[in-house]
């Protein structure tokens, strides 16, 4: 079972290496490039985790696509009028 | 002879050219037959050629690259360039440096040395592998390893015997035993190892004279001249045929020797798209209308330069259309049959016989003896006037050393075998085997789903792998599996089209090809080579069938 998974992963890693030309690089270059790609993926996933939910909500409400639920609706009006709920 | 009053008809079939008598009901018909290689050909007007051109259906395929592959290939090259630049910045390369050269202009072209050091060097172990045996159907490669990623190599001392799919051995004449080898060894005893002189001085010996006569007979033209080097034949004879004020139309993918010869000659060169007759006509018309570059005078000479089989593409030139164009625009035609002489056609006479054209129509027939005859050297054949002119005015005849005797004898013997002059059917057997091998191998590869370029009859099979890393991976993996192939990348091919070039041979048996194809199937799975987006043929592939059986 573990063998099968390892085989599967090594097959796909070889394909990845061949397609991105990592196959011909020396080990330190491979580590460098893989490191850069891992850092980029890590940064992208962190920012997705941290900012995407809030951003999605505010984007949908900007286009008036959210259901009129209680809290969101108030939030929506406040957002549209550009003022806080206490203003009126 | 006569039985019950009826006269039987019988024919006496004799040797070459002897007329036979055909008795039928008292009428005697005299027909001339010519027997070569067991094939009986009618002789008409002294020449045994059909003047009617066969309508050949060309089955060629040049599939387009899938978009994803093209994008990733370019990205891979960008990555290679970036890392090469990084390497150049951080480390000094392991190459010889010049001393006391501050302020001097660099000796080498910057991009070329960059490419060589940081891109090519990484997979350099796939090329220049020394061989330790004759490159027949199997070849012995000398193993070497590199400890510093391609800068230096060390020999391990071991050798690997591999199936040879990389040598130009189309008819299998690269042998150490057999009539060719014995007669070449005898030629060394008779004539020595070298001529030590150009042809115009003391370099012509009976072997070369006989060889030239035999070459002319082989091709069906009046006369031929042979040279010691195939590349040199092109590069040194084109300057003597052309000069400034001549127009040359050369195919896009012509060989480096043709390009060098054309540039040396000083003629005006116009390039037309590969094997594209409409483009050729358009360029030809425009150039004729415009005339010479500044004076606008009519051109002194117009020459169309093409090759028979293009070795990097596997495509065969469209000879009948070119001959039509040539007659229409009064141009001369130069066909470089380096890869197709001996390999195409029913009797191995090259692309002219393949299409059923008359060899007198092609003005200059050029070819090399390296590929199908198992030797070295080149020839030019045509009318006697042309060859007499070349004997006097060619640079190669005047300055290049003449062909060495064992080399000439090898060509003579192999050509006699191909023509059937040794009395056996060996030549025809080899030509047939090459044809069967070619069709079978190509059909099986197409069925596998890999992209191969070229005509279905060309023994050169370029297998497209596109990506630079895959060229290295495939060559290395195949070498591990005991198959020797040649990988080709930039600058020999366009940047995006890296390929593996397979050369089939009459020396390969069906079993060897089957084993190789199984290996290719496994590699296509593990390395991802199945790029073809067309439907794969499902009918079983038969060996020994040259035309599709309906």
Q: Which two tokens stand for residue B497?
A: 């089209």
At residue B202 the predicted structure's pLDDT band, cuts being 50, 70 and 90, is confident
B483 in helix, strand or coil?
A: strand
Element (DSSP H or E) covering residue B224: strand B223-227
**Interface ipTM above 0.95:** no
User: Is the N-terminal amide bond of B491 cis, ω within 30° of 0?
Assistant: yes
Name which of B94-98, B154-158, B294-298 the model is least confident about. Answer: B94-98
Q: Mind telling me how many Å the CA of A84 is from chain B's nearest CA?
A: 50
Query: How far A57 CA lies from chain B's nearest CA (Å)?
Result: 35
pLDDT of residue A77: 54
Chain A CA closest to residue B70: A19
Q: Which residues of A touch B526 (CB under 8 A)?
A: 11, 14
| B467-489 pLDDT per residue, tens | 999 999 999 999 999 999 999 98
Tell me what the mean pLDDT of segment B376-381 comes to: 94
Contact A20 B72 (CB under 8 A): yes
> Does the pLDDT value for residue B432 go beyond 70?
yes
Say what percent of chain B tops pLDDT 70: 89
The alpha carbon of residue A46 is apart from the nearest alpha carbon of chain B, in Å, by: 26
CB contacts of A33 in chain B (<8 Å) are 79, 83
Using a CB-CB distance cutoff of 8 angstroms, which residues of chain A are in contact with residue B469?
17-19, 21-24
pLDDT attached to residue A76: 52
How open is the CA angle B487-B509-B517, to the nearest 5 degrees?
45
Strand pairing report for B301-307 and B483-484: unpaired
- Give the closest of A15, A18, A21 to B80, CB-based: A21
At residue B60, the pLDDT reads: 83
Q: What is the CA radius of gyration of chain B?
A: 26
CA dist., res. B345 & res. B370, Å (int): 18
Confidence of residue A15 (pLDDT cuts 50, 70, 90): very high
Long-range contacts of B324-331 (CB under 8 A, 24+ apart): B325/B277, B325/B280, B325/B281, B325/B284, B326/B361, B329/B284, B329/B285, B329/B288, B329/B302, B330/B302, B331/B249, B331/B284, B331/B302, B331/B303, B331/B304
CA distance B530 to chain A (A): 13
* B73, closest residue in chain A (CA to CA): A19
**pTM to 2 decimals?**
0.83
Extended beta strands in B491-531, E state? 498-503
Distance CA B432, CA B436 (A): 6
Q: What is the mean pLDDT of residues B529-545?
A: 85
Note the pLDDT of residue B20. 46
Cβ separation A21–B77 shorter than 8 A = yes
Does residue A80 register a pLDDT over 70?
no
Q: Which residue has the higher pLDDT, B168 or B37?
A: B168
Q: What is the 3-state secondary structure (H, E, C) of B25-85?
A: CCEEEEEEEEEECCEEEECECCECCCCCCCCCCCCEECCCCCHHHHHHHHHHHHHHHHHHH
Does an H or E element contain B162, and which?
A: strand B154-164
pLDDT band, very low/low/confident/very high, at B54 (cuts 50, 70, 90) = low
The reply to whether B472 touches chain A by the CB within 8 Å rule is yes
**Residue that wins the pLDDT comparison between B73 and B8:** B73
CB pairs under 8 A between A and B: 46
Q: What's the whole-number mean pLDDT along residues B240-269?
A: 94
Q: In 3-state terms, what secondary structure has residue B491?
A: coil
Q: What is the pLDDT of residues B12-27, one digit of tens each?
A: 444 444 444 445 554 4
| Four-residue CA torsion sign, B128, B130, B133, B139 | negative
Q: Whose structure tokens read 């809290």? A: A71
pLDDT over threshold 80, residue A48: yes
Instruction: Report chain A residues whose CB lies below 8 A from the CB of B79.
Output: 20-22, 33
What's the CA gap between B255 and B340, in Å, rounded?
Answer: 14
Residues B378 and B381: their CA atoms lie apart, in Å, by 10
| The three-state (H, E, C) secondary structure of B384-429, written as one string | HHHHHHHHHHCHHHHHCECCCHHHHHHHHHHHHHHHCCCCCCHHHH
Q: Best residue in B93, B465, B467 to probe A by mutation, most A CBs within 10 Å? A: B467
Average confidence score pLDDT of chain B: 86
- B269-324 pLDDT, tens digit each: 999 999 999 999 999 999 999 999 889 999 999 999 999 999 899 999 999 999 99
* B247 token code pair: 């127009």
Chain B residues with CB under 8 Å of A15 CB are 528
- Of the residues A24, A25, A28, A29, the best mutation for testing chain B's interface (the one with the most B CB atoms within 10 Å of its CB) is A24
Structure token digits, residue A13: 């890693």
Q: Do A18 and B469 touch (CB under 8 A)?
A: yes
- Chain A residues touching B472 at Cβ < 8 A: 23-24
Chain B residues touching A12 at Cβ < 8 A: none
The confidence score (pLDDT) of residue B288 equals 92
Chain A residues contacting B via beta carbons under 8 Å: 11, 14-15, 17-26, 29, 33
Quickly state the pLDDT bin for B507 (edges 50, 70, 90). very high
At B337-374, the pLDDT tens digits run 999 999 998 899 999 999 999 999 999 999 999 999 98
Residues B99-153 pLDDT 10s = 888 888 877 778 888 888 888 999 999 999 999 999 999 999 999 999 988 889 9
């Amino acid at each position: 079972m573990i063998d099968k998974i390892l085989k599967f992963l090594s097959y796909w890693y070889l394909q990845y290496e061949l397609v991105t030309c990592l196959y011909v690089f020396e080990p330190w270059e491979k580590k460098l490039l893989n490191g850069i790609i891992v850092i980029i993926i890590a940064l992208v996933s962190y920012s997705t985790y941290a900012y995407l939910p809030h951003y999605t909500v505010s984007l949908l409400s900007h286009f008036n696509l959210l259901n009129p639920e209680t809290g969101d609706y108030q939030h929506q009006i406040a957002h549209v009028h550009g003022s806080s709920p206490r203003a009126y | 002879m006569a039985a019950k009053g009826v006269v039987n008809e019988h024919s006496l079939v004799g040797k070459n050219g002897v007329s036979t008598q055909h008795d039928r009901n008292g009428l005697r018909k005299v027909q001339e037959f010519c027997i070569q290689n067991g094939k009986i050909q009618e002789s008409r007007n002294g020449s045994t050629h059909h003047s009617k051109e066969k309508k050949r259906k060309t089955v060629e395929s040049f599939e387009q690259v899938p978009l994803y592959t093209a994008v990733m290939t370019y990205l891979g090259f960008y990555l290679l360039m970036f890392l090469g630049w990084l390497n150049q910045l951080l480390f000094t390369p392991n190459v010889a440096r010049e001393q006391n050269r501050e302020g001097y202009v660099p000796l080498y072209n910057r991009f070329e040395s960059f490419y060589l050091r940081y891109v090519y060097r990484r997979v350099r172990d796939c090329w220049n592998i020394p061989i330790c045996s004759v490159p027949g159907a199997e070849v012995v490669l000398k193993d070497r390893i590199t400890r510093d990623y391609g800068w230096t190599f060390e020999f391990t001392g071991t050798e690997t015997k591999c199936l040879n799919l990389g040598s130009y051995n189309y008819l299998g004449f690269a042998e150490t035993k057999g009539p060719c080898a014995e007669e070449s060894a005898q030629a060394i005893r008779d004539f020595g190892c070298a001529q030590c002189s150009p042809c115009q001085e003391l370099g012509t010996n009976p072997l070369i004279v006989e060889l030239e006569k035999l070459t002319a007979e082989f091709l069906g033209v009046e006369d031929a001249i042979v040279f010691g080097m195939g590349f040199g034949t092109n590069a040194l004879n084109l300057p003597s045929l052309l000069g400034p004020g001549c127009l040359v139309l050369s195919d896009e993918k012509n060989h480096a020797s043709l390009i060098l010869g054309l540039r040396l000659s000083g003629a005006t060169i116009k390039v037309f798209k590969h094997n594209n007759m409409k483009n050729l006509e358009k360029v030809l018309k425009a150039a004729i209308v415009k005339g010479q570059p500044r004076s606008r005078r009519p051109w002194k000479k117009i020459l169309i330069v093409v090759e028979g089989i293009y070795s990097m593409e596997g495509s065969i030139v469209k000879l009948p259309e070119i001959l039509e164009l040539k007659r229409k625009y009064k141009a001369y035609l130069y066909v470089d049959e380096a890869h197709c002489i001996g390999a195409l056609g029913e009797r191995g006479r090259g692309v002219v016989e393949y299409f059923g054209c008359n060899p007198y129509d092609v003005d200059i027939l050029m070819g090399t003896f390296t590929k199908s005859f198992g030797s070295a050297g080149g020839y030019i054949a045509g009318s006697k006037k042309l060859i007499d002119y070349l004997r006097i005015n060619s640079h190669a005849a005047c300055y290049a050393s003449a062909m060495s005797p064992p080399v000439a004898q090898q060509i003579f013997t192999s050509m006699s075998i191909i023509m059937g002059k040794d009395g056996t059917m060996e030549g025809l057997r080899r030509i047939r085997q090459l044809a069967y091998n070619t069709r079978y191998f190509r059909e099986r590869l197409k069925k596998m789903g890999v992209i191969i370029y070229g005509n279905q009859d060309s023994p050169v099979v370029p297998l497209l792998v596109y990506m630079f890393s895959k060229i290295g991976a495939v060559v290395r993996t195949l070498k591990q599996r005991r198959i020797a192939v040649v990988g080709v990348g930039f600058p020999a091919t366009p940047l995006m089209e890296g390929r593996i070039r397979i050369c089939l041979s009459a020396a390969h048996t069906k079993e060897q090809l089957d084993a190789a194809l199984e290996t290719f199937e496994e590699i296509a799975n593990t390395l991802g080579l199945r790029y073809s987006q067309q439907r794969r043929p499902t009918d079983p592939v038969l060996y020994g069938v040259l035309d599709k059986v309906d």
